[in-house]
Amino acid sequence: MIRIVMAGNPNSGKTTVYNAITGRMERVGNWTGVTVEKKEFAIKKEYCSGNEDLIAVDLPGAYSMSPFTSEEGITSKYIRDEKPDVIINITDATNLGRSLFFTTQLLEMGIPVVVALNKIDINDSKETGIDVSQLSALLGCPVIETVATEKRGLKEIVETAVSLIGKEQKAVYTEKGVDLLDKASVEEADRKRFEFVKDVVDKVETRKVQAKDTNKGDYIDAVLTHPVGGLIIFAAIMFFVFWVSQAKIADICLEHQSFSIRYSKKSDFRENL
């Protein structure tokens, strides 16, 4: 029995891939922490070219192999202790920097890894490009573009995963001399890893909309936080809220008053019912 594990950051699309290749209907959702326990099931025949014994394992999302949450603990423990045959690392192509931090840690486990650059459809619509072959060379493992919601690239990713079984996986980045019990030492190691990852992202990613370009949100921010304009807008909104609440209270009082005048006696009120 060959176990192929889906591992990656929360909300990257692991369960969407798992459901597509197994035919299961596990819960997916556009927020983090949807999967909270390990799930496993046989991969559909159409995805495994005749290999009968492929089992897909879906894990909770994790940002790091050093667990901060209990869900991350499930993931790191499973990978370290159970040693699956191959890892499909589902990365969010729209947030490559954050995804690759975890990727570099997975590559240290000695288990073969294939990276799925998932949600590539969103990148295409934003005209963000990723040089897949360069990324693959820099990580030392295959990288495949996928759109899990459309089942795009999923057969290729499973076939590539199967082709890696039994092969050696080299780490591209390793931490040395980190005292895991010392917070400062761990933070320093994480900072260095982020620098390495940033360097990789700078080399492979091209963005049409650079961070320095202003968009609609930036324009609204600039107006609302302007030292003079912002205060005037704030005062106007507060006045409007005050005016609406007072006008409503006045209406209610007037209505109540005319009711009391009209039906000053209980009998008048009963007659009018």
The answer to whether 34 contacts Mg ion (rule: CB under 5 A) is yes
Name which of 14 and 119 has its Cβ closer to Mg ion.
14
Name which of 15 and 160 has its Cβ closer to ligand GTP.
15
Distance CA 52, CA 43 (A): 8
The sign one gets for the Cα dihedral 104, 107, 108, 109 is positive
On the 0-12 / 13-18 / 19+ scale of CB atoms within 10 A, 181 is exposed
90 and 60 Cβ atoms separated by less than 8 Å: no
Give the one residue of 9, 22, 35, 76 binding Mg ion; rule: CB under 5 A.
Answer: 35
For ligand GTP, which residue has the nearest CB?
61
228-261 burial, b if ≥16 CB within 10 A, otherwise e? eeeeeeeeeeeeeeeeeeeeeeeeeeeeeeeeee
The answer to whether 15 contacts Mg ion (rule: CB under 5 A) is yes
| Residue type for position 94 | T
Name which of 16 and 104 has its Cβ closer to ligand GTP.
16
Query: At its nearest, how many Å lie between ligand GTP and the CB of residue 123?
Result: 10
The answer to whether 148 contacts ligand GTP (rule: CB under 6 A) is yes
> Could you tell me the CA-to-CA distances from 26 to 40, 60, 88, 138 in Å, in that order?
10, 12, 18, 34
State which of positions 43-102 bind ligand GTP (CB under 6 A).
Answer: 60-61
Binder of residue 140, out of Mg ion, ligand GTP, none (CB less than 5 to 8 A by kind): none
Closest CA to 72 of 95, 102, 29, 116: 102
**Other CB atoms within 10 A of residue 201 CB:** 18
Distance CA 107, CA 7 (A): 12
Binder of residue 42, out of Mg ion, ligand GTP, none (CB less than 5 to 8 A by kind): none
What are the tokens at 199? Answer: 């360097």
Taking CB under 6 A as the binding criterion, the range among 144-152, 154-162, 194-202, 214-222 that sits at the site for ligand GTP is: 144-152
Give Cβ neighbours of residue 36 (< 8 Å, ≥ 6 apart). Answer: 60, 71, 74
The answer to whether 109 contacts ligand GTP (rule: CB under 6 A) is no
Write each residue from 163 to 192 as x if it is in contact with ligand GTP (CB under 6 A), else as -, in one continuous string: ------------------------------
Taking CB under 6 A as the binding criterion, the range among 101-109, 115-123, 212-220, 259-267 that sits at the site for ligand GTP is: 115-123
Name which of 44 and 263 has its Cβ closer to ligand GTP.
44
**Chain residues in the site for ligand GTP (CB under 6 A):** 10-16, 28-30, 32-35, 60-61, 118-119, 121-122, 147-149
**Chain residues in the site for Mg ion (CB under 5 A):** 14-15, 34-35
